[in-house]
Amino acid sequence: MTPHVIIYTRRVGRWRPDARARLERAAVELFVEQGFATTTVPQITARAGLTTRTFFRHFADKREVLFAGDEIPDLAARLLADAPATLDPATLIVEGLRTVAETRFEGRRAQILQKRDIVRSDASLCERDLRKRAGLQEAVRAGFLSRGVADLTAALLAEISVTLLYVALDEWLDQDGDRPLFEVVLDTLDALRTTLSSFPPGPQRRPRAGHPQDAIADHTGSARPAGPSNA
**Residue 56 contacts a copy of itself per CB under 8 A:** no
The 3-class SS string of the chain reads CCCCCCCCCCCCCCCCCCHHHHHHHHHHHHHHHHCCCCCCHHHHHHHHCCCHHHHHHHCCCHHHHHCCCCCHHHHHHHHHHHCCCCCCHHHHHHHHHHHHHHHHHCCCHHHHHHHHHHHHCCHHHHHHHHHHHHHHHHHHHHHHHHCCCCHHHHHHHHHHHHHHHHHHHHHHHHCCCCCCHHHHHHHHHHHHHHHHHCCCCHHHCCCCCCCHHHHCCCCCCCCCCCCCCCC
The residue from 12, 110, 216, 226 that contacts DNA (CB under 7 A) is 12
Distance CA 109, CA 115 (A): 10
The residue from 16, 58, 115, 147 that contacts a copy of itself (CB under 8 A) is 115
Nearer to a copy of itself, 148 or 201 (CB): 201
The interface mask with a copy of itself, positions 9-38, x = CB under 8 A, is: ------------x--x--------------
**Residue 186 contacts a copy of itself per CB under 8 A:** yes
Binders of DNA in range 15-54 (CB under 7 A):
15, 19, 39-42, 49-54
**Residue 110 contacts a copy of itself per CB under 8 A:** no
The residue from 61, 74, 170, 183 that contacts DNA (CB under 7 A) is 61
**Residue 131 contacts DNA per CB under 7 A:** no
The residue from 44, 93, 101, 136 that contacts a copy of itself (CB under 8 A) is 93
Report what 42 binds from a copy of itself, DNA, none; CB cut-off 5-8 Å by kind: DNA
Distance CA 87, CA 97 (A): 15
Report what 125 binds from a copy of itself, DNA, none; CB cut-off 5-8 Å by kind: none
Binders of DNA in range 152-171 (CB under 7 A):
none
Distance CA 201, CA 156 (A): 17
The residue from 25, 29, 56, 118 that contacts DNA (CB under 7 A) is 56
Report what 140 binds from DNA, a copy of itself, none; CB cut-off 5-8 Å by kind: none
Minimum CB separation of residue 189 from a copy of itself in Å reads 6
